[in-house]
């Protein structure tokens, strides 16, 4: 399956998230991909946070397992992706939940092309502020293989906690390649 939402050419490299910043300190939404893995997503790439029930997502046959289907969002068709499963973690259907937390990812770099995607996550946590200079590339030996294609690096918040920083453009690129 080459491209299930028809915008593979609209996605750039991993860098746009880091180069588009005007302020050296940016805000990131902290979300849970699994019980063990929290990650950050740039607020500038988000449009909305949603709660969606399984009955509001229409499955589409013959798609990868991480493609949950489509959702009617503000009268538009929004593709819904299980972000944790896309990253190689446990799929959404293993969690017995009636409601799912989701964010609407929006990449405004090319406004003439629909670049919105619903990302279903385990939990939405809080907003974190981070100076962009503190986001570091993964050292080769420590890069988590399943998350690396979706990240711009990591933020060492404390000695005990390092958080992957997700890159919306990289997520779009990986989804469009499937």
Report which DSSP code applies to 8. G
Question: What is the full DSSP assignment across 29-93?
Answer: EEEESSSS-EEEEEGGGEEEEEEEEGGGEE--TTS-TTEEEEEEETTEEEEEEEHHHHTTS--GG
pLDDT tens digits, 39-67: 999 999 999 999 999 899 999 999 999 99
Question: What is the full DSSP assignment across 122-160?
Answer: SEEEEEEEEEGGGEEPPPTTT--TTTGGGEEEEEE-SSS
pLDDT tens digits, 73-124: 999 999 999 999 999 888 877 766 768 899 999 876 655 556 789 999 999 9
CATH class of the structural domain 25-133? mainly beta
| Local structure of 10: helix, strand or coil | helix
* pLDDT surpasses 90 at 25: no
**Domain coordinates of the chain in residue numbers?**
25-133
pLDDT of residue 131: 84
Nearest to 66 by CA among 53, 55, 81, 79: 81
pLDDT of residue 138: 80
pLDDT tens digits, 131-173: 888 888 887 667 677 888 899 889 988 878 889 999 998 998 8
What does the block give as tokens for 32? 């849970």
Beta-sheet pairing, 76-82 with 116-121: parallel
């Amino acid at each position: 399956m080459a491209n299930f939402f028809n915008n593979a050419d609209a996605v750039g490299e991993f860098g746009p998230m880091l180069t588009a910043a005007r302020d050296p300190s940016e805000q990131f939404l902290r979300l849970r991909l699994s019980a063990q893995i929290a990650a950050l997503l740039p607020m500038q790439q988000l449009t909305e946070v949603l709660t969606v029930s399984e009955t509001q997502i229409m499955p589409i046959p013959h798609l990868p397992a991480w493609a949950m289907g489509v959702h009617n969002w503000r009268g538009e068709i929004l593709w819904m992706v299980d972000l944790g499963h896309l990253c190689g973690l446990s799929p959404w259907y293993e969690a017995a939940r009636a409601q799912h937390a989701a964010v609407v990812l929006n990449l405004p770099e090319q406004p003439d092309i629909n670049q919105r995607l619903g990302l279903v996550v385990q939990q939405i946590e809080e907003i974190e502020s981070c100076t962009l200079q503190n986001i570091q590339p993964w050292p080769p030996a420590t890069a988590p293989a399943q998350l690396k294609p979706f990240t711009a690096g990591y933020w060492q918040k404390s000695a005990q906690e390092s958080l992957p920083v997700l890159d919306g453009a990289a997520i779009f690129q990986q989804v469009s390649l499937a």
